[in-house]
Structure 1
Amino acid sequence: MLPAVLVEHVRKEFILRHNRAMGLKTRFLALFHQSKRERREHFLALDDINLHVEPGEALGLLGHNGSGKSTLLQIIAGILEPSQGRVITRGRVAPLIQLGVGFHPELSGYENIFLNASLYGFRNRDTQKRVKDIIEFSELAHFIDTPLKNYSSGMQMRLGFAVAVHLQPDILLADEILAVGDQPFQEKC
């Protein structure tokens, strides 16, 4: 059987730029050439990471802050490119990595369900069949016509998670985003 997620020899390096305090003129000139005051440092976030996740398997990443867990999830989701190596995903990927991604703050929760589902490739008629269950699972029926900008972070997480699981992705990537929900909702997830 082919794996749902295959990560081979993935390496991710970031370039950190350290700027000393600059005036407006120096900042403007730095746009056109590297300032002598700018110092670059290479930061290795991931080195030679290999994973093989079968369909139906669950995988948890544990590590200290800054150990590269979120970076790896972003690479698997296709948000970041690895510096080296390759990632192959088979199926629809639903990344729950950052609050608000795939949502528009001016739209209502109801409208955002359709917007988010369209980003996963669903047509409106397919989403319409699931919208009642999404709203019920999110426990946001009372607020569903309210613009998202008025939602708390926990409410946004509830809506995002409810949409993602009801669209039945093949691969669900969840970062610490679930930590913002209350205990009963976390247990429900």
Structure 2
Amino acid sequence: MTRPADEPFIETRNAWVEFPIFDAKTRSLKKAFLGKAGGAIGRNDSNVVVIEALRDITLSLKMGDRVGLVGHNGAGKSTLLRLLSGIYEPTRGVAEVRGRVAPVFDLGVGMDPEISGFENIIIRGLFLGQTRKQMLAKVDEIAEFTELGDYLNMPLRTYSTGMRVRLAMGVVTSIDPEILLLDEGIGAVDAEFLKKAQTRLADLVARSGILVFASHSNEFLARLCDTAMWIDHGTIRMQGEIEDVVRAYEGEDAARHVREVLEENKRENRSA
């Protein structure tokens, strides 16, 4: 496939991610791996027992693609995001990614409980690939969005869970990634702020070249993505329109809700 030299893309071909378990008799160890990675138990070419967290993944994403990942806990959604970010290398097959990647898997990663909210804004931004100068220019705007006021001068350990989410969301949604890999981590905030965060998240997606978003919220998926992918036991079970994929995964009621959200989006876009 021919692409402009500087255009971001994601491509995997028959990619597997396997975690070896050298002592297969240790049941507790197998349970620990299964609990974290999901997938099936198999053997690799060296006859070592492995957890097959991802199996034979082939996908191709280009500039402008917005893909939502659905599937049960442990199905492989987070593992796929980590493969696309470069955290995991494929044990078989190929994974190619070109572009500036912003992996947003855990809103708390890259934050220090012993330093202030203001300092954590800088640290979290650096973790996401921004420069200190870029983050200093964004501090006031992020602070206003979080509505945390004087708490930004306090150590992060004094924050409630909802306050930490506000701070992390403010930083995450201030960046301009070419490839945004997003694992849902929103929920511990009040409804009014969540609505504000959704608007800001939509703006972030609009600035991103490619989005891959793992979420259990069909509403978020319908608002932020164009297509969906169902991951099941480490394999791609289905790809296509969000409504069709959600219908296959969760049934007609869930698909009807997705359709209502998509229609609402169209009305809002026409009136904008």
Q: Distance between the aligned counterparts of 1:149 and 1:165, measured in 2?
A: 22
Question: By how many angstroms is 1:59 displaced?
Answer: 1.1
**Structure 1 runs not aligned, ≥5 long:** 22-39
Cα pair 2:102 2:129 within 8 Å, conserved: no
Q: Distance between the aligned counterparts of 1:146 and 1:42, measured in 2?
A: 45
Cα pair 1:96 1:161 within 8 Å, conserved: no
Query: Does the alignment pair 1:177 with 2:185?
Result: yes
Cα pair 1:94 1:172 within 8 Å, conserved: yes
Q: Deviations over 1:90-109 (max 9, x none)?
A: 33222221242111111111
Partner of 2:18: 13
Where in structure 2 are the equivalents of 1:10-159 lying within 5 Å?
Answer: 10-16=15-21, 19=26, 41-159=49-167
Q: Deviations over 1:23-52 (max 9, x none)?
A: xxxxxxxxxxxxxxxxx8421111111222
**Structure 2 runs not aligned, ≥5 long:** 29-47, 199-272
Q: Deviations over 1:116-164 (max 9, x none)?
A: 2223343322211111111222332342112122223332232222212
Q: Cα distance 1:153–1:90, how it changes in 2: closer, same or farther (>3 A)? A: farther
Q: Distance between the aligned counterparts of 1:68 and 1:136, measured in 2?
A: 36
* The structure with more helix, counted as a fraction of residues: 2
**What secondary structure sits across from 1:156 in the alignment?**
helix
When normalised by structure 2's length, the TM-score is 0.56
Q: Cα distance 1:87–1:141, how it changes in 2: closer, same or farther (>3 A)? A: farther
How many residues matched?
171
Question: By how many angstroms is 1:63 displaced?
Answer: 0.4
Which aligned runs of 4 or more in structure 1 are off by greater than 4 angstroms? none
When normalised by structure 1's length, the TM-score is 0.77
Percent identity for Structure 1 against Structure 2: 40
Q: Distance between the aligned counterparts of 1:158 and 1:92, measured in 2?
A: 24
Cα pair 1:157 1:181 within 8 Å, conserved: yes
Q: Give the counterpart letter for 2:162 in structure 1.
A: G
Question: By how many angstroms is 1:3 displaced?
Answer: 4.6
Q: Distance between the aligned counterparts of 1:84 and 1:184, measured in 2?
A: 46
Quote the RMSD (CA, aligned, Å).
2.4
Q: Cα distance 1:116–1:11, how it changes in 2: closer, same or farther (>3 A)? A: same
Q: Distance between the aligned counterparts of 2:15 and 2:172, measured in 1?
A: 26
Partner of 1:24: none
**What secondary structure sits across from 1:67 in the alignment?**
coil
Q: Distance between the aligned counterparts of 2:145 and 2:160, measured in 1?
A: 17
Q: Distance between the aligned counterparts of 2:15 and 2:191, measured in 1?
A: 35
Cα pair 1:13 1:44 within 8 Å, conserved: yes
Q: Cα distance 1:86–1:139, how it changes in 2: closer, same or farther (>3 A)? A: farther
Q: Give the counterpart letter for 1:109 in structure 2.
A: G
**What secondary structure sits across from 2:70 in the alignment?**
coil
Between 1:58-67 and 1:145-154, the stretch displaced more is 145-154
Q: Cα distance 1:85–1:100, how it changes in 2: closer, same or farther (>3 A)? A: same
Q: Give the counterpart letter for 2:72 in structure 1.
A: H
Q: Distance between the aligned counterparts of 2:13 and 2:189, measured in 1?
A: 33
Q: Distance between the aligned counterparts of 1:63 and 1:45, measured in 2?
A: 13
Question: By how many angstroms is 1:69 displaced?
Answer: 0.4
